[in-house]
Structure 1
Amino acid sequence: MNRARMTQMTGKYMNHDMISLHTDLPELPEGRISLLYAVLGQQPDAAPQKELLTLVTSLVQMGLDTHDMVENAPQGASAAKSGLLAMRAQQLKVLAGDYFSSRFYHLLSQAGQIDTVRRLSEAICDINRLKVSLYGKMTQMKLNAEEYLHFGAELKSGLFLAFTGFMSGLYERAWPELVERFSRCEVLLQEMRKVEKMSSLDESWGMWHILQEGTEEDRRMLFERRDDPNLIKTLMHKYDIAEKLGSLLRQSTGQLQVLLQRLQSDKLLRELQPLIEPFLQAAGQQRATALKELG
């Protein structure tokens, strides 16, 4: 599914003046949606409903991602400073997330897809439990870099795993690993973009890697001066954060390509290749940059 068709499908449910004027929304999960659409198209029983199923999944994922953008309300003087507009933006994020999520019930019930409502509802509950677990580990500082990636991939793939029961044969066996590996590549690509900004190490793979592998002095400085851009740049270079992320992305992308080959469908491979290109390009650019710095 191309971007134009995806935008056309979701636009009538997501384009609201009040929301667009007063708050930001997360990006549509185009990669995972296109992956689901393409694989559902290979399933004889699910293919006739593939547009409806990908539409409702888009809306639910947007609802979850919009809620994730809601920040804790500031207290005291900072609360007054943030002003009415900031508070309204936060409130609209909550309302927008609720609205997007609610639309899937309506659309699926109209189509008589009650079992799909159950599957997605259970997936939402699992995702929320996973978020609580991740938050607990993060606040207690009991998380390592690999667990951070694993949680990220699980959160992105959770809704899409609900469609395993729609697959048959080889696809049923391959789908869970396929969507998890694709989601892991998405997480790694996001982390590489964070490195490019170099604005903060908070809530990043780089932070957990340094806390896991760094010296006691570097860990202490990371806690005390986490908003210092010079320190951030120094630590990122010292621990080769960009290079390590690039290596992990190359590894995961290679594993993803192997999985796709197992599906033994040239048509599906051609359809999915554009979804993998951003991962290949980012990993390749990082390697070229690293070689240039060495040379």
Structure 2
Amino acid sequence: MKPYRVPQLARKYVEYDMIQQHTEMPAFPDSRTRLMFVFLNRNAQELHASEDELYALVTSLVQMGLDTHDMIDTLSGIRSPEEMRSRQLKVLAGDYFSSRFYQLLALAGRITAISKLSDAVCEVNAGKMSLYWGMKQFRLDATQYLTQMVRFKKELFLSFTSLIAEQDQEIWKQLLNKFALCDTLVEEWGKRTEPGKSRFGYVFWHIYGNGDRNEQALLSESGTDTEAWRKLVLKYKAEDAILDKLRTAVTHIRQILSDDQNTGIEEFERMLEPFLKLLNSPHPVVREG
């Protein structure tokens, strides 16, 4: 298999000093992008030169654009000049990342691929609108939230399933689902201690679903303070819930790989490294106050 270099190719589109200095950016979707590249590369004889790399690149850029827009805070209230600049840069950066796929695919003459990705983006955006409505109505639980977030993280990549060898398509979809779940859980882990970032996230719905009426009323208010939030994270063992699900997902990935004799396990083990690192690291417990 040829070397995987999509993250290096993506740098020219996502690494800008102005953006990096003044606003937070989402992580590059490396595990899903690498997974897509591996399966496309296995069917390389049916693709034009470097299409495996091109499709993995443009899909990762669109995903970065969507993820960047998801980080834009929608809370009302007065913002500082720094917060306003950060917000504006997220809007612009998300639009820029998403627009690059049109240019790259058009230059390569891959008009059908433009249609595939555009349709997938529409599906994701429609799904998010439905999810946000459920959030605002408090008609959601932690499992439903996680299922929808995983769907959003795999939708773009699934749009290229027809270009993957037919005998590989089922295992591709199974692995993509599990890697999207792992990516989602790592993302939720990263924001678990901050009530602002965690609002309407997995930890929020985990606590809301297990909490009493007073705690649910507290969460329903938009300004839960950090101390109160951390008490709830501790009480309902939200960190354990994330890590347990991540551990189970990694186990399932290994089981899928061991059941398929045509899949080289070594290359997929590299994709698991970030998740294993989190699982094997000592985790400082969220403390009150």
* Pairwise TM-score range, normalised by the shorter structure: 0.7 to 0.9
Residues 21 and 191 (structure 1), Cα distance of their counterparts in 2 relative to 1, 3 Å cut: closer
In structure 2, the residue matched to 1:218 is 215
- Taking the aligned partners of 1:71 and 1:198, their CA distance within structure 2 comes to 14
1:272 to 248, 265, 268: 268
Instruction: Find out whether 1:62 has 2:64 as its counterpart.
Output: yes
Residues 43 and 263 (structure 1), Cα distance of their counterparts in 2 relative to 1, 3 Å cut: farther
Specify the code of the residue in structure 2 equivalent to 1:137: G
Residues 205 and 171 (structure 1), Cα distance of their counterparts in 2 relative to 1, 3 Å cut: same
In structure 2, the residue matched to 1:94 is 91
Residues 191 and 72 (structure 1), Cα distance of their counterparts in 2 relative to 1, 3 Å cut: closer
Specify the code of the residue in structure 1 equivalent to 2:31: G
In structure 1, the residue matched to 2:169 is 172
Residues 225 and 97 (structure 1), Cα distance of their counterparts in 2 relative to 1, 3 Å cut: closer
Instruction: Find out whether 1:282 has 2:255 as its counterpart.
Output: no
Residues 92 and 236 (structure 1), Cα distance of their counterparts in 2 relative to 1, 3 Å cut: closer
Deviation at 1:239, TM superposition (A): 1.3
* Structural mapping, 1:153-192, within 5 Å: 153-192=150-189
Q: What TM-score do you get using the length of structure 2 for normalisation?
A: 0.86
Which one is further off, 184-193 or 109-118? Answer: 184-193
- Taking the aligned partners of 1:95 and 1:240, their CA distance within structure 2 comes to 38
The alignment covers a number of residue pairs equal to 282
In structure 1, the residue matched to 2:137 is 140
Contact 1:37 1:50 in 2 (8 A): yes
Contact 1:161 1:175 in 2 (8 A): no
- Taking the aligned partners of 1:24 and 1:240, their CA distance within structure 2 comes to 28
More helix by share: 1
Cα RMSD for the two superposed structures: 2.8
Structure 1: 4+ residue segments shifted above 6 A: 1-4
In structure 2, the residue matched to 1:23 is 23
Residues 21 and 186 (structure 1), Cα distance of their counterparts in 2 relative to 1, 3 Å cut: closer
Which one is further off, 243-252 or 7-16? Answer: 7-16
The percentage of aligned residue pairs carrying the same residue is 37
1:109 to 98, 106, 130: 106
Specify the code of the residue in structure 2 equivalent to 1:5: R
